Amino acid sequence: MQLSALWTLLLAGVLATIQAAPAVAPTPTPYQQGLAEGYLSRFYGNVGIGNTSGLFRGNFSEDLEAMQSFFGLEVTGVLNHETLGVMKASRCGVSDIGRYGHFAGEPKWKKRLITYRITQYTTDLSQRQVDETIAQAFKLYSDVIPLDFKQISSDTADIMILFKGGQHGDPYPFDGTGKVVAHANSPGRKLGGDTHFDDDEYWTLDQTGVNLLLMAAHELGHSLGLDHSRNRSALMFPTYQFVNTDGYKLPDDDVREIQALYGSRTADPTTAPEPDSPADPEPEEPTEDPANVLRNPRDQQCSKDLAFDASTSIRGDLFFFKNGYYWRWNAVSGIHFGKVSTKWPGIDLVDAAYEAPNENVVHLFEGNQYWGIKAIERTLIPGYPKPLTSLGLPSSVSKIDAAVYITRTGKTLIFANAQYWSIDEATDQIDPGYPKSIAQDFPGVGSKIDAVFENYGYLYISVGPKLLEFYKPGQRVTRMLLNSNWLDCY
């Protein structure tokens, strides 16, 4: 073979290799890496709506391969431009880890008539347009399965619907225009298929913005028990894609999946769900020792009268304390219940708590003393407990009610009875002019606070069973929730 011919073959081989290689981002920028880790953590690392902690806890390469496989991309385990393009697309906020078309355990409604209520509307469309479009989305399903849907205007419906941006009453805040545009819960008690639309999006009835009919029909599929589909032509494909909605009907893939749960609209009535039976029951909690029933608050988790003793964040998780026990809320693994003295020996009850993130320290208060906990390891720090007076509080304060670190100012607020103090974490000194009146500086809250924590720039203040969302710079209450809302109870 002549040398020129050999070089020609070698060059052809090199070119073929280059053309066959995926479009890899050789060195992902910090933004691209952060985007990918956040996406995988949110949609491939949990079984809830989404992981809002922003912390990646999985195996990056394996989870990336799972994501690429789900979307029918070339499975490389390496970030490339096509993969990043999918990650940047607008989509539903429900995770993609379901293996089939239904949620784990196949939850579904077991009554024939399902009620729904729209509690907050978007301003992009008239209320009549929203009502008609949501009704049209429900009709896509009632045309093919033996369920009927009825809108109500008061009381609690089976499916509660709202339009709101950012924080909106559940632990999964929306992220602004684009990205996650809506999310919904599977059937069942408490959450009951509730459906939320990000009002930072531009909601329309055509191809501009986000088409409400298509997105509502997708989310209501989740509310009825459908998981995401790998079929790009299916309504339940996770990323938003516009199609002409004139005469729109459910795609065949979605019809098959929803009828697998509920049967056909024209099927023998004996195969349809029994009328008026409750949603799937949840597993019963283990039986408590009768002597401990009044003390152990596990059975109060979803009570509308639940009042917290204390609350705080610890490295992205939220801890809520009650009667010597705690609930830990984690965006990935959900709610965990435990006993304070088991986790932190020597501490029986927690009256107040706060995290100082810059110092990797959490302080837990009981009576007239407090402990230091290493936030990352969550272990006790030697040298504690210390008396409240070491914080500069007067000896007349024998117990505090609540405490919170304010990220924006670097101050810690300590609440006791009707007063509060501000401590500068940089100097460990109480700021001049304190104590001050709670009622005066926190209008709408009252004169006494039971627990408080900071989340996404807002203070969440517990007063009895009420949880008040308070915007400190504007000194106003922006919303009222229940404590139990943070424990996956609705």
The percent of residues in the chain predicted with pLDDT above 90, rounded, is 39
Please list the active-site residues.
Answer: 219
Token reading at 282 = 């949840």
How far is the CA of 454 from the CAs of 277, 470, 472, in angstroms? 40, 9, 10
Question: Which of 61-70, 180-189, 363-372, 469-478 has the highest mean predicted lDDT (pLDDT)?
Answer: 363-372
Say if residue 332 is in the same domain as residue 232.
Answer: no
Q: Is residue 5 a part of any domain in this protein?
A: no
Say if residue 345 is in the same domain as residue 442.
Answer: yes
- What CATH number has the domain bearing residue 163? 3.40.390.10
Cβ-proximal residues to 291 (8 Å cutoff; 6+ apart), any chain: none
**What's the pLDDT score for residue 71?**
78
Say if residue 78 is in the same domain as residue 117.
Answer: no
Say if residue 482 is in the same domain as residue 366.
Answer: yes
Q: Is residue 276 a part of any domain in this protein?
A: no
Say if residue 219 is in the same domain as residue 310.
Answer: no
Token reading at 62 = 């394996």
pLDDT per position as a tens digit, 290-322: 333 335 677 788 888 899 999 998 888 889 999
* Domain carrying residue 80: 18-88
Say if residue 75 is in the same domain as residue 222.
Answer: no
Contact 201, 174 (CB under 8 A): no
Round the average pLDDT of the chain to a whole number and report it. 80
Confidence of residue 103 (pLDDT cuts 50, 70, 90): low
pLDDT per position as a tens digit, 431-468: 999 999 999 999 989 999 999 998 877 889 999 998 88
Domain count, the chain: 3
Q: Is residue 290 a part of any domain in this protein?
A: no
pTM of the predicted model, to two decimals? 0.47
Pairing of strands 210-211, 203-204: parallel
Q: Is residue 312 a part of any domain in this protein?
A: yes
Distance CA(352)–CA(101), nearest Å, equals 44
Confidence of residue 475 (pLDDT cuts 50, 70, 90): confident
**What's the pLDDT score for residue 322?**
93
Contact 66, 14 (CB under 8 A): no
Mean pLDDT of 318-347: 86
- What CATH number has the domain bearing residue 56? 1.10.101.10
Mean pLDDT of 161-174: 85
- What CATH number has the domain bearing residue 312? 2.110.10.10
Considering only CA atoms, which of 314, 339, 319, 343 is closest in space to residue 329? 319
**What's the pLDDT score for residue 213?**
97
Say if residue 448 is in the same domain as residue 362.
Answer: yes
Q: Which of 73, 88, 103 is the last residue of a domain?
A: 88
**What's the pLDDT score for residue 167?**
85
Looking from the CA of 193 toward its CB, the CA atoms found within 13 Å total 30
The DSSP bridge partners found for residue 180 are 91
Q: Is the pLDDT of residue 9 over 90?
A: no
Q: Is residue 380 a part of any domain in this protein?
A: yes
Q: Is residue 166 a part of any domain in this protein?
A: yes
Considering only CA atoms, which of 50, 147, 155 is closest in space to residue 108? 147
Confidence of residue 255 (pLDDT cuts 50, 70, 90): very high
Say if residue 373 is in the same domain as residue 252.
Answer: no
Say if residue 220 is in the same domain as residue 301.
Answer: no
Q: Is the pLDDT of residue 244 over 70?
A: yes
φ, ψ of residue 454 in degrees (nearest 5): -105, 140
**What's the pLDDT score for residue 291?**
35
Say if residue 355 is in the same domain as residue 423.
Answer: yes
- The interaxial angle of helices 127-142 and 212-224, nearest 10 deg, is 50
φ, ψ of residue 99 in degrees (nearest 5): -85, -25
Q: Is the pLDDT of residue 281 over 50?
A: no
Confidence of residue 285 (pLDDT cuts 50, 70, 90): very low
Distance CA(185)–CA(203), nearest Å, equals 21
Say if residue 235 is in the same domain as residue 349.
Answer: no
Residue 8 vs residue 159, higher pLDDT: 159
Distance CA(178)–CA(171), nearest Å, equals 19
Q: Is residue 11 a part of any domain in this protein?
A: no
Residue for token pair 């922003």: 54
Q: Is the pLDDT of residue 10 over 80?
A: no
pLDDT per position as a tens digit, 206-219: 999 999 999 999 99
Q: Is residue 96 a part of any domain in this protein?
A: no
Mean pLDDT of 65-93: 80
- Tell me how crowded residue 12 is: count the other CB atoms within 10 A of its CB: 10
Say if residue 258 is in the same domain as residue 356.
Answer: no
